[in-house]
Structure 1
Amino acid sequence: MATSSAAGKTIVITGGAGGLGKVIASAFLEAGANVAIFDVHEGRLKETAAEWEKYGDKFITAQTDITDETAVNTFFTSVSAKFGRIDLLVNNAGIMDKFDGVGTTSADMWNRIIGVNLTGAYLCTKAAVNAFETQSPVGGTIINIASISAVRGLNAGAAYTASKHGLLGLVRNTAGFYGPKGIYSIAFLMGGMDTNILDAFATGVNQENMAAVSASNPPFDPAVTYVNLNDAAKYCLFFSDPGAARASNGAAISINNNWPTA
């Protein structure tokens, strides 16, 4: 999985202590990059830091709330101070709803999903763009882990669907405003994955609505349809090359094992 294009670059990954975020972070470390992750889960951060001791001072881990602008800005400042610049942000942190339609979505659930999935991505995108504009040479790339729910209406509940539609708008707007400055923004429309995002189902799910989602889509067989996390990480490695990122600036790239079928 190693690639020379990532060597020496500095990568920030949100939600990087578990699931897809950790796989992406590990792939970049193996490729010789500097990696900075933050996550809200203290236990996962400690386990990850212990596993990465072999990489010496090539990584930073921090327990940070993605919805806290001051904490986010402090983290980005610390990364730039340690490694000299930031080359890539992967907006990976995200949480799932329970398949509630708008009529049964509580305000607390709505605010939590939008807060993490959209406001958190906005705060990190803002911090990254400000870092990209002030470093020398100017430039950088933002990869946003979106979802097929960013372009489809019935693959999740109202809150998650709205958050990912909003994220796609943020991606395209950022690409338009900042692409001429060498700052690129890309969305990955992910399909099903075996990640920590499924933790949301531990306390229950709206079974009626989940059945409606299932009925509106082709059958989902995890053994066949799940996207391999290591394969998804390869896309991040590829787009760490500024030329590749420039060519796909503003794009929404499907990574879904053709489920739902195109």
Structure 2
Amino acid sequence: MATSPQSVVVTGAAAGLGKALATEFLKRGWQVALVDIAADKLSATVDEITALGHPGKALAVEADITNEESASSIFSKSVAEFGQVDALVNCAGIMDKFQATGEQDVSLWNKVLDVNLNGAFLLSRLAVQEFLRTDGRVSRNTDTSGEVKTGGAIVNIASIAGFRGGAAGVAYTTSKWAVLGLTKSTAAAYARQGIRCNAVCPGGMATSIAEDFDYTSMGQLFSTVMKINEVSAGLSDVNRLSRLVAFLCGDDGQDINGAVIRVDRGWTAV
């Protein structure tokens, strides 16, 4: 059993759920690379979390996850600092304006798909390559037969919009359905190497994703979304969700692979 702390890359870590995720991992003694494109906000977040005195080690990495070179720098910096990366949480995401297909702004479509899907793919690709690296890498995974495998975990933060057609606009909805496909494909491809990939699908959450909404310019699907909201049981707690994600990344989650877990207080059960 390795004695060095495990390490994780968390994207979108400057605020909201990403910040809560990074804090939870640090509480558990993990080494955490906090990734965000907003440099000032990221720096302030790292300073704030570090001041709390958690046993883990924080590393701030300013990066654009939609750019291949910038995304690659996340892993090179994390490996240089921590020795290796054991887990990835794809949390970075942006919302659309609830536009339906016929009215969807093409530039916004491209931006949402770029951040929510392409960014998750680029980081997942790099994570798998890191997990499969053999030179100097310490395996964290031993199956029930005692066989040591590569190990490594990815958790994609998806959404209940990955199950419904009327929970968001066409761009966000498409991106989250696609993230579930990315999750399943990755899980199936690398299960025998001990690499796991799961998705967590929150319902309503009080995060920064809606901070920049201009509710006066919402698209055709907005009224449908508001109707669906009427049967919501309320907002989920980011700290509880963070504990679930940390569980999925840790040793006790090694038997969970390819799972899609709804965290919506029963919203999609209605």
Fold match, TM over 0.5?
yes
Aligned-partner SS, 2:14: coil
In 1, are the aligned partners of 2:29 and 2:56 still within 8 Å (CA)?
A: no
Mapped to 2, the partners of 1:40 and 1:204 lie a distance apart of 27
Identity of aligned residues (%): 36
1:167 aligns with one of 171, 179, 182: 179
Mapped to 2, the partners of 1:218 and 1:75 lie a distance apart of 37
The amino acid of 2:26's aligned partner reads L
1:35 aligns with one of 29, 32, 36: 32
Mapped to 2, the partners of 1:185 and 1:242 lie a distance apart of 14
Cα displacement string for residues 24-53 of structure 1 (whole angstroms, at most 9, x for unaligned residues): 101111111111011011221121122133
Mapped to 2, the partners of 1:11 and 1:170 lie a distance apart of 19
Residues 97-136 of structure 1 aligned to structure 2 (within 5 Å): 97-134=96-133, 135-136=137-138
In 1, are the aligned partners of 2:187 and 2:198 still within 8 Å (CA)?
A: yes
Mapped to 2, the partners of 1:96 and 1:59 lie a distance apart of 27
Cα displacement string for residues 28-86 of structure 1 (whole angstroms, at most 9, x for unaligned residues): 11111111011011221121122133459811112111101111111101101211111
Mapped to 2, the partners of 1:208 and 1:82 lie a distance apart of 47
Mapped to 2, the partners of 1:218 and 1:61 lie a distance apart of 36
In 2, are the aligned partners of 1:186 and 1:250 still within 8 Å (CA)?
A: yes
Residues 192-207 of structure 1 aligned to structure 2 (within 5 Å): 192-202=204-214, 204-206=216-218
The verdict on how the C-alpha distance between 1:171 and 1:57 changes in structure 2, with shifts beyond 3 A counting, is closer
- Tell me the matched-pair count: 252
Flag the structure with higher helix content.
1
In 2, are the aligned partners of 1:21 and 1:93 still within 8 Å (CA)?
A: yes
1:232 aligns with one of 241, 244, 259: 241
In 1, are the aligned partners of 2:87 and 2:154 still within 8 Å (CA)?
A: yes
Residues 175-194 of structure 1 aligned to structure 2 (within 5 Å): 175-194=187-206
Cα displacement string for residues 118-147 of structure 1 (whole angstroms, at most 9, x for unaligned residues): 000000000100000003322200000000
Residues 1-262 of structure 1 aligned to structure 2 (within 5 Å): 8-54=5-51, 55=53, 58-134=57-133, 135-137=137-139, 138-202=150-214, 204-206=216-218, 208-215=220-227, 217=228, 219=230, 224-244=233-253, 246-262=254-270
Cα displacement string for residues 176-219 of structure 1 (whole angstroms, at most 9, x for unaligned residues): 0011101100000110001111134147442642112233x261
Mapped to 1, the partners of 2:244 and 2:202 lie a distance apart of 11
In 1, are the aligned partners of 2:65 and 2:119 still within 8 Å (CA)?
A: yes
The verdict on how the C-alpha distance between 1:207 and 1:116 changes in structure 2, with shifts beyond 3 A counting, is closer
Mapped to 2, the partners of 1:233 and 1:53 lie a distance apart of 18
In 2, are the aligned partners of 1:98 and 1:200 still within 8 Å (CA)?
A: no
Mapped to 2, the partners of 1:225 and 1:108 lie a distance apart of 32
In 2, are the aligned partners of 1:80 and 1:86 still within 8 Å (CA)?
A: yes
Mapped to 2, the partners of 1:182 and 1:243 lie a distance apart of 13
The verdict on how the C-alpha distance between 1:218 and 1:16 changes in structure 2, with shifts beyond 3 A counting, is closer
Gaps of 5+ in 2: 140-149
Q: TM-score, normalised by structure 1?
A: 0.91
Q: TM-score, normalised by structure 2?
A: 0.88
Mapped to 1, the partners of 2:20 and 2:5 lie a distance apart of 18
Mapped to 1, the partners of 2:32 and 2:111 lie a distance apart of 27
In 2, are the aligned partners of 1:118 and 1:167 still within 8 Å (CA)?
A: yes
Gaps of 5+ in 1: 1-6
